[in-house]
Amino acid sequence: MRRTTNCLIVIVAFSVTAYCLWSVRADADPLLPQPGGKPVDMPGLHNVIHVADRLFSGGVPEGDAGFDSLKKLGIKTILSVDGARPEVARAKQSGMRYVHLPIGYDGVSQEQALKLAKAVRDLPGPVYLHCHHGKHRSPAAAAAIRICLDEQCTVAQAVEIMKRAGTDPHYAGLFAAPKNLRRLTERELDQASANFPEVAKIALFAEAMVQIDHRCENLVAVRKAGWNSPKDKPDLDPPHEALQLVEHFREIARQPAAQQRPADFRRWLADGERVSAELEKTLRIDKGKTVDGRAAEKAFLAMRSVCSQCHAKYRDVPQD
């Protein structure tokens, strides 16, 4: 009889834990991201979705405005799956803890899912989970966490998190994660390491790729502004951004990690350097003259094509 009673207590305790993790607040502020609702932009935060009572997903917090928005959401822990270095000091000033567990675009492994799930289960919540834009990696991580922690979450429901956030379907590895992961046991979670780094050690190769993504994002803004400095980013110097991209491609190609990659990968690096140099030359004009928009567009599209081809083979799908 005592054994039966103990079993019932365990079941009830587990149910209460699941409810605390995944239930929906009845007093939710209609101006904030809603459970099951569309992504919301808040000051300094983009593409924010409400995954569960203890979990939000979105883009990187930007400046004081972003951290003020996190305070409004009641966030206690920020969990970054992005490769860039988190703003740990700013988080501490805002009374929040930063945890850095980066993942790639090729999917979420069982080992990574275990670390992410344990962090969400054990650290103070609510938790704000983010990548850079909040569209691809953080929703995929959120889906993995739900699969691992919520016994009632189906694969379809996990995938719906990604669709709701606008995850690009071309990221085959990210979309494959929910069906490839298995639910974790309480024992596995209890025995997993509780060492949650504020800043993860990232290989130089990965850091360089993060910088390339950053420069490309700036050039997208320059393009939208008619190949001029965007009004919201007046300090951006278009030709300088293109030149920095040239340097990043060049430096990556010099690294041993790149030299050991297949020939097509090295060729794409060389092509990226070449078309970025063409874009830089087109954008670098004398004062008073106008950028040749057609030439700039041609070089930009060529650069994007190079990146897309490389990503499709080496970043967006699981690697053997």
Residue 5 has pLDDT above 80, yes or no: no
Per-residue pLDDT tens digits for 255-295: 888 888 899 999 999 999 999 999 999 999 988 889 999 99
Residue 30 pLDDT level (bands cut at 50, 70, 90): low
Tell me the range of 10-14, 142-146, 204-208, 313-317 where mean pLDDT is highest.
142-146
Q: Pairing relation of β-strands 127-130 and 55-58?
A: parallel
Question: Pairing relation of β-strands 97-100 and 127-130?
Answer: unpaired
Question: Could you tell me the CATH number of the domain that includes residue 135?
Answer: 3.90.190.10
The structure's pTM equals 0.72
Would 197 be classed as within a structural domain? no
Regarding whether 28 and 167 lie in a shared domain, the answer is: yes
For residue 218, is it within any domain? yes
Among 167, 191, 215, the domain-final residue is: 191
Q: Are residues 9 and 118 in the same domain?
A: yes
Q: Do 275 and 155 lie in a common domain?
A: no
Please tell me whether residues 245 and 158 are part of one structural domain.
no
Distance CA 143, CA 167 (A): 11
Mean per-residue pLDDT for 158-168? 95
Reading the block at residue 187, the tokens are 């024992």
Give the pairing of strands 45-52 and 77-80. unpaired
For residues 166 and 274, state if they share a domain. no
Residues 33 and 146 in one domain: yes
Domain that holds residue 40: 2-191
**Which residues does residue 80 pair with via DSSP β-bridges, in sequence order?**
100, 130
* Count of structural domains within the chain: 2
Q: Which of 166, 191, 216 is the last residue of a domain?
A: 191
Whose CA is closest to 22, among 168, 132, 121, 138?
Answer: 121
Mean pLDDT of 73-90: 94
